[in-house]
Amino acid sequence: MRSRFASLYFFYFASLGAFIPYWSLYLKHLEFSPRQIGELSAVLLATKIIAPNVWGWIADHTGKRVWIIRIAAFVGMSIFAVVLVIHSYWPLLIVLAGFSFFWNAALPQFEAATMNNLGANKHHYSRIRLWGSVGFIITSLLFAPILQSKGIGLLPWMILILLICIWINTLFVQDSAQHHDKHVNEPLLKICFKPHIFALLLACFLIQASHGPYYAFFSIYLEEHSYSRSTIGQLWALGVVAEVGVFFWMHHLLPRFGAKFLFVIAMALTIIRWWLIAMYVDSFEVLFVAQLLHAASYGLFHAAAIYLIDLYFSGNIQGRGQALYSSLSFGLGGSLGSLMSGYTWSSIGPSYVYLLAMGVAFVALIQFIWIAKPRLGEP
């Protein structure tokens, strides 16, 4: 069963390997302005504010997580097919909003289903999740030469094929019987305002907001500095290769150092990463190092966050806990980060946008240390 979960991660993040490095280039190809690109990128994330919570509530009350994943994958795939025939701003914005409402519903429930399937071996989550990173690497590398030679207009067709593969794979996974082994009586909102949990959620929001200029404009940033699309794809893939390394070793790191300590290290290295990208974009060697730090800013951060969210939101609120994490971080944080990047990209300049991202990550780190008071080895 774990191999089937790994396969679904593979194709889900393979689709992200097509979206994240190349979607902004496709939008630029359609002659949208930086502001419009920021908005069209943000809408893919903005639906994560609502959609995961709606589907999380349904999953927690029905226990049918995999059924929800199947429906979300099928409807999202069907709506995205419309992208093949529309190229104007407002129709595209509406279609992307509909697509992402369902597409974004799947992953939090899949995370919860995976953790349920692991049972007492939750620290092995990263060994399954790393296959998602492998999928990202393969598509980001393979798509670069194809899009370079055939044109970026082919991208929506390639993404649609991957979305079909996601849906097919949902048919081969099953729900675990462990969903409601613990009943939590406290209201979800009350749990969220416990100081250490509030600090965790705020850090997740801020760190993903700091990723806004990276996910929405990194490819454009590099192309404007004369990097080829093949090189851009390789740099994206390099970051995810580093991420795979972290996921592979995470089951050793968690018991030794503790999730909170690793969470702090991830934020500190994120600050350094945005500074390097802001100041040394013309140096391939420095960008190489900055992309290696994706191991921390995404891999280490996400693995530690998933572990802590599963620890704090368990039993009959597990699905809503994972949905809340997705909504606040990748949804609200990611969409606001993309929007602000689009609005400031031309006015203050790309380097200053990344310096602002560095400042946001710094605030995330300081407030978490101040409120949560993490200690080495603490869960």
177-207 as b/e: b if 16+ CB within 10 A: ebbeeeeeeeebeebbeeeebebbbbbbbbb
Task: Give the model confidence (pLDDT) of 266-309 as tens digits.
Answer: 999 999 999 999 999 999 999 999 999 999 999 999 999 999 99
Secondary structure (H, E, C), 24-68 = HHHHHHCCCCHHHHHHHHHHHHHHHHCHHHHHHHHHHHHCCHHHH
User: In this model, does residue 379 exceed pLDDT 70?
Assistant: no
Phi/psi of residue 193, nearest 5 degrees: -95, 10
329 and 212 Cβ atoms separated by less than 8 Å = no
Residue 298 DSSP code: I
pTM higher than the cut 0.85: no
User: In this model, does residue 261 exceed pLDDT 70?
Assistant: yes
**Helix, strand, coil % over all residues of the chain, rounded to 5:** 85, 0, 15
Query: Taking residues 350-363, what's their average pLDDT?
Result: 97
User: In this model, does residue 353 exceed pLDDT 90?
Assistant: yes
Q: For all residues of the chain together, what is the average pLDDT?
A: 89
Percent of the chain with pLDDT over 90: 53
Residue 93's identity, in one-letter code, is L
CA distance 256 to 258: 6
Task: Give the model confidence (pLDDT) of 100-118 as tens digits.
Answer: 999 877 888 888 788 777 7
Query: Taking residues 29-49, what's their average pLDDT?
Result: 85
Contacts of 6 (CB under 8 A, 6+ apart): 128, 131
Q: Is 225 helix (H, G, I), strand (E, B) or coil?
A: coil
CATH of region 2-172+186-372: 1.20.1250.20
Contacts of 216 (CB under 8 A, 6+ apart): 24, 37, 38, 41, 42, 337, 338, 341, 342
CA angle 204-210-213, nearest 5°? Answer: 140
Confidence at residue 182, expressed as pLDDT on a 0 to 100 scale: 58
Query: Taking residues 344-356, what's their average pLDDT?
Result: 94
CA distance 30 to 152: 10
Confidence at residue 98, expressed as pLDDT on a 0 to 100 scale: 94
pLDDT band at 318 (very low <50, low <70, confident <90, very high): confident
230 and 286 Cβ atoms separated by less than 8 Å = no
Residue 92's identity, in one-letter code, is L
Task: Give the model confidence (pLDDT) of 202-214 as tens digits.
Answer: 999 999 999 999 9
Query: Taking residues 48-67, what's their average pLDDT?
Result: 82
pLDDT band at 141 (very low <50, low <70, confident <90, very high): confident
Residue 130 CA neighbour count, 13 Å, CB half: 18
292 and 236 Cβ atoms separated by less than 8 Å = no
Task: Give the model confidence (pLDDT) of 142-194 as tens digits.
Answer: 888 899 889 999 999 999 999 999 999 999 887 765 544 556 667 888 899 99
Confidence at residue 227, expressed as pLDDT on a 0 to 100 scale: 93
Confidence at residue 42, expressed as pLDDT on a 0 to 100 scale: 80
User: In this model, does residue 314 exceed pLDDT 80?
Assistant: no
Query: Taking residues 365-378, what's their average pLDDT?
Result: 89
Q: Would residue 32 be called left, alpha or beta, if left means φ above 0 and alpha means ψ between -120 and 50 degrees? A: beta
243 and 299 Cβ atoms separated by less than 8 Å = yes
